[in-house]
Amino acid sequence: MTTKEKKLYLWYGSLLAAVIAVYVLVHYMGVIRLDLTAEKRYSLSPVTKELLAEVKEPMIFTLYLDGELPSGFRKLQREVQQVLQEFRAYNRNILYKTEDPAEAGDKKAVRDFQQQLEFKGLSPVQVEVNEGNQVQFLQLFPGIIATYGEKESAIQLLSTHINTTPENQINIAIQNLEYNLANAIRKLVRKFRPTIAFLEGHDELQPGRVADISRALSEHYSVTRFNLRQFEKDTSTGEVSILRQMQRMSNFNCLVVAKPQKPFTDLDLFLIDQFIMNGGKVVWLIDAVAADMDSLSRASEFMAYPILDELRLGNLFFRYGFRINTNLVQDRKAAWVSDMRSVKRWIYFPLIDPLMYHPVTKDLNSVKLEFASTIDTVMAPGVTKTPLLKTSDASRTVSTPHIVRLAYLYNYPGREPFPKRFLTVGLLLEGTFTSYFKNQIVPRDETGRQIPFREESKPTQQVVIADGDVIKNQLNIVNPNLQKGVPLPLGFDQFTGIQYGNRDLMLNIFDFLLDDKGLIALRNREFKLRLLKMSRVYDEMWMWRIINVALPVVIVVLAGVVYVQIRKKMYI
């Protein structure tokens, strides 16, 4: 063997060894992964990798999107599989599979299986497919059930968005894939479940009116109700203890004040204030004006009047850096109301489009508010305020007392001026708050001793929405297939059949407040929607068909002819 041949064999051997080494690294270790996309859509964030490292046993993702699918859903299926492949590259305990609910068996078996998926939290989507001259409707379940040990988590990939094209809805689902999947992992591997307490004692919303959001939250949080005015007695003295009440509240991570109707006492305010000062988080859902649609079922008009001063919350809010005004918002872009004969817009129900710059509201469906008020910010050192919900660019406010007339429903204000724009109705506050009771006399315990008191809070967060009904679900009175009085999904209007984004909004708020890893920031990722221009597609359709079908055949024939001619010249 010559020296030249030895070098050649050595080069071939080195190349083969390098190829085998790369294959082993990529296939078994997954350490070499290149993302050449402009948006880095296949590059996992550090927080996702951190969560994947916590998966110590097999976690199975079952995607119920398979079979004959429209093109958009096939794209969604591919994207889900690619993200899960990325997950598996970092942790071999991640497993996934796809199933088609329509292949569960006969019609009864398919119907039973679909009902099981709905019970677990996956909502079906009706898709219209055109096949020639026929129109076929498919019921798809674009969702995932993640299983980890004995725990399960439902991941709804596709959400309905008002005034959004199906293509854009698919793109929104793809943008939120990493967040939705990583969030499911976080909830499944988390050993500590934060506690959310719905406040009682001031005629807040009853359990049935917050049943849907409570059920959704209870899948991943500990949800309870807490009466601020029910004190436990001291076992030694038999007297009630303020200090013991504060200790009970310290077990909560977040307090929800949902549409209180009765006044707060100084002691109530002190307990809530110190809960915040010790790092507790509060979601305020406040009606500053007494107004209810039920009043219009008894008369053609009613008086809406302010109640914020009666609640005695105004000064507390002012100290924390915001003020809820005792007015009512009217908006041209309003939600719909049905009078059993027709569906019309009701200017007292603002339809809030999500703000795209914050992860809580980005890519949400429109949120329905009922008799909302505006929120102003005031000076509060150390507190950052971020608007979460704003009205449209054609809105206005009316001062109260104000007569709400049913005539506005039938005489939609066509030329009336709506001069105000983007009024704040939902606000996030973050930072260090000053106690409302600073430089005031604070309560003492039953023995007369000074209760531990903080004048400045630990870094914490509060969310305020100037509408208590934003978290209230309806009770069934229309659907004959459901028992009357059964709680319906939050944001679903049974009288118009429209699903609003209230449920997703509230879930995002609690995830944001109780997210210790900053995972929700992934919702700010944005992928460009690169769609074909359909008019150009139709104009150039035949040209591209010829290029793709006929041109390759012509090239092969010409190459064959040239090859034959070259051989003739070489060997004749």
pTM score, two decimals? 0.83
Closest listed residue to residue 100, CA positions, set 77, 72, 127:
77
Residue 350 confidence (pLDDT): 95
Architecture (CATH level 2) of domain 33-185:
3-Layer(aba) Sandwich (3.40)
Can you spell out the DSSP letters for 246-297? Answer: HHHHTT-SEEEEE---SPPPHHHHHHHHHHHHTT-EEEEE--SEE--GGGGG
Encoded amino acid at 258, one letter: A
To the nearest 10 degrees (0 to 180), the angle between helices 211-218 and 502-513 is 40
Residue 481 confidence (pLDDT): 84
Using alpha carbons, list the distances in angstroms from residue 294 to 310, 472, 491, 496: 22, 14, 18, 17
Q: Which two tokens stand for residue 175?
A: 């943008």
Q: Which two tokens stand for residue 319?
A: 């100290």
CB contact at 8 A, 79 and 44: no
Encoded amino acid at 49, one letter: K
Residue 194 confidence (pLDDT): 93
Structural domain boundaries in the chain: 1-28, 33-185, 195-513, 537-571
Q: Which two tokens stand for residue 363?
A: 């890519």
CB contact at 8 A, 464 and 499: no
Rounded distance, CA 103 to CA 107, Å?
9
* Residues facing residue 195 across a β-bridge: 222
Helix H, strand E, coil C: the string for 10-70 is HHHHHHHHHHHHHHHHHHHHCCCCCCCCCCCCCCCCHHHHHHHHCCCCCEEEEECCCCCCC
Q: Which two tokens stand for residue 93?
A: 């305990």
For residue 524, give every residue at least 6 positions away whose Cβ sits within 8 Å of its Cβ, in sequence order, or none.
Answer: 359, 362
Encoded amino acid at 474, one letter: Q
Residue 131 confidence (pLDDT): 58
To the nearest 10 degrees (0 to 180), the angle between helices 46-53 and 177-189 is 30
- One digit per residue, pLDDT tens: the chain, 572 residues? 667 666 766 777 777 888 787 777 666 554 455 665 665 666 788 888 888 999 999 999 999 988 778 878 888 889 899 899 989 988 999 999 998 888 877 888 888 888 888 888 888 887 776 655 666 677 788 899 999 988 888 888 887 777 777 777 888 888 888 889 998 998 888 888 899 999 999 999 999 999 999 999 998 899 999 999 998 876 666 677 888 899 999 999 999 999 999 999 999 999 999 999 999 999 999 999 999 988 888 888 999 999 999 999 999 999 999 999 999 999 999 999 987 788 889 999 999 998 878 889 988 899 999 999 999 999 999 999 999 999 999 999 999 999 999 888 887 776 788 999 999 999 999 999 999 999 888 887 766 677 888 999 999 999 999 999 999 999 999 988 889 999 999 999 999 989 999 999 999 999 999 987 777 777 776 666 566 666 777 778 888 888 888 888 888 888 888 888 887 877 76
Residue 534 confidence (pLDDT): 64
How many C-beta atoms lie closer than 10 Å to residue 13's C-beta?
10
